[in-house]
Amino acid sequence: LLSGRETVGSSNMENDASLEFSQQLFHIGENLVTEDVTALKFLCMDLLQLGRLEGVKSATDIFKLLMAQEYLKAEDTFLLAELLYRIKCHSLLEKLGYTKEKVQKHLHEKGRVSPYRQMLYELSENITNEMLKEITFLLQNRLPKRWVTPSALDLLTLLEKQGLLTKDNVQILESICKTVSPDLLEIIDCYKKAKVLCYNIFSSPETAAKLLKELGVLPSFCPKMHKRKCVLLCSEQEGTPMDGVFLFQPKVGLKYMVLEVLVLFSLKNTFFNSGSYKMDGPHRGFCLIINNVNFNSSQRKGSCKDAEQLERVFTWLGLDVRTYTDLTSGAIINLMQTWQHVQDHKDRNCFICCILSHGKSGAIYGTDYKLVSIRVLTTHFTAKQCPQLAAKPKLFFIQACQGNNIQRPVFVDTDGPTPDSTPVQERVSLLESIPEEADFLLGMATVDGCVSFRHIEEGSWYIQALCSKLQLLVPRGEDILSILTQVNEDVAKRVSPSGTKKQMPQPAYTLRRKFIFPIPMAPPPS
C-alpha cells in the first residue's frame, strides 16, 4: 500500500511538471509575433523535416515538432533558449531560467543551430526591403512566375529548395551581394573562411593557425594558443575543452561537428558579426600624431610623453605611425591636405589622427597661436574629399582644452592658450566638429567649454588613460566605444593635486558599425 502511494505521488509530480512546462511554452509562444515564428522555422530547417515545417502556423507547432524529435524536453530546454537567443528575444529567456549571458556561455557545447544556418539568418537580417526588391529582380528567371517574395528568409528557403544554395555552395549569394550590397559579402566571406578553418583543424593545423590570425579571433601571444593544439582534435576524443580553445562533440557526427566547431572561435560573434568594420586587410592604416610642444611663451611639458605612448600603442595595433612636431596652423592644414590625397589609403582599413595642443571651443591652436577649426580638419577626409577612405572608419583623438584657462596647480598644466587671443567663435557643439556623413569618431579630452589636464612629467590624463585602456581591452575584443567609456570612467576618477579640479572626456561619432581592432600578435608594449 505504501508503495502504491509513492507511485501515485510520483505520477502526480510528473503531471505537475509536465503542466508547468506546457504553460512555459504557451507563454513564450504568446509573446512571439509572426516574424519570430518565421525565423524559428528557418533556424530549425537542419533539425526538422521541411515538409512538417511547412505546416507550421504558430510557435507552439514548432515546439510540438521539437518535442516529438526529443530536441525539447522539460529537463532540457537549451535548444529553445538558443533559438530565442538567435532571434534576439532575450526577454523570454528568463521564462526558461536562462539569461543572455548564460546561453552564450553554453553555446560552444550545446549549440545545435549550424553556422551555415546562422550565416543565412544573419544575412537575412541585413537585407533591407529595397535590397530584397533588387534581388528578386536579379533572380526573376529563377523564381516561379508571379511569385511574390514575402521576406528574405522565404527567398533563401526557395533557393535551398531549388538546390541553388547549400552549405557547400553559396556562389549564388556571393553573385547577388556583389551587385546589390558588397558589404553583405563580409558575412559570407567569414562563413567560408571559418569553414576552411575547420577543415584545416583536422588536416593542416599550421594553416588553421594562420587563418585564426587572419580572422583576428584569438590573441596569438596568449599562452593558450599554440599550433600544436589543433592536432589534438580527433574523432575518438571526449567532449572536453582543450585549454579553453577547442571543444569536441563526437555524438553529433564528424560532418556536422566540423561546422559546429566554428562557434568555438567566436569572440563576441567574430565570424558572423556583420556589425563590425572590416579590419582584416594587409595594412591596418595610417596614424598621424601632431604634437605641438613649443609655443612662443610656453611649453606643453609632458606632451612628448603622450606622443611616445601613442606611437608605441598604435604601432602595436598595426598602424603605420607618423609623428609631426610643432606645427603652425597653416602647416596643420597643409598636412591634412597632403594626407587627404595619399593614394595608399585605398589599401588600408582605417585612418587615425591624434592632435596634442592647446585649444578653444571647437578648435585647436597651431604653434603660431592661430586657431584651426576641428571640423575643417576632419572634413578633409570625407568620402567626397578623400574617396580612398570612403566607408572606412576615421578616428580623431584631440588632447586640448575646449574652454577658458584656469589656475594651474602644482605639477598640473592646462591645455589652454597662455596669451590673449581672439576666439573664432564663442562655443561650438561637439557634433558640429565632425562631418555629417558616416564613419567618423571624434574623441575629445574634455567636454566643450572646459579645460583638460596634463601632468608635466607623466603626460595628459586623457591620452594616458586612452593608451592604457587600449592595451588592456583590445586583447579582450572590446570595440572602440566600449573602450572610450572605460577611458571616461578612468579620467573622471582623477583629481588635480589641489583636490578641486576634475575632467570628463567626451566622444562624438557617426560610426555605422562597431570598430574593433584585431588582436595583435605581440603582447602590449607596456
At residue 106, what is the residue type?
A: H
**Cβ atoms 401, 414 nearer than 8 A:** yes
**Cβ atoms 365, 417 nearer than 8 A:** yes
**Cβ atoms 242, 229 nearer than 8 A:** yes
Which three cell numbers, joined as nine digits, stand for 74?
522539460
**Cβ atoms 260, 115 nearer than 8 A:** yes
Q: Which member of 44, 198, 287, 358 is catalytic?
A: 358
The CA distance from 261 to 249, in Å, is: 8
Burial class (CB in 10 A: 0-12, 13-18, 19+), 373: middle
The CA distance from 301 to 295, in Å, is: 11
Our answer to whether residue 222 is catalytic in this structure is: no
Backbone angles phi, psi at 449, to 5 degrees: 90, -5
Beta-carbon contacts of residue 220 (< 8 Å; ≥ 6 apart): 209, 212, 213, 519, 521
Please report which helix (H) or strand (E) contains residue 322, including its range: strand 320-325
Q: Which member of 401, 450, 455, 467 is catalytic?
A: 401
Our answer to whether residue 226 is catalytic in this structure is: no
Locate all alpha helices (DSSP H) within 284-360, ordered by sequence.
303-316, 329-340
The CA distance from 389 to 382, in Å, is: 8
The CA distance from 454 to 291, in Å, is: 13
Taking residue 491's Cβ as centre, other Cβ atoms within 10 Å add up to 23
The residues carrying an active-site annotation are 358, 401
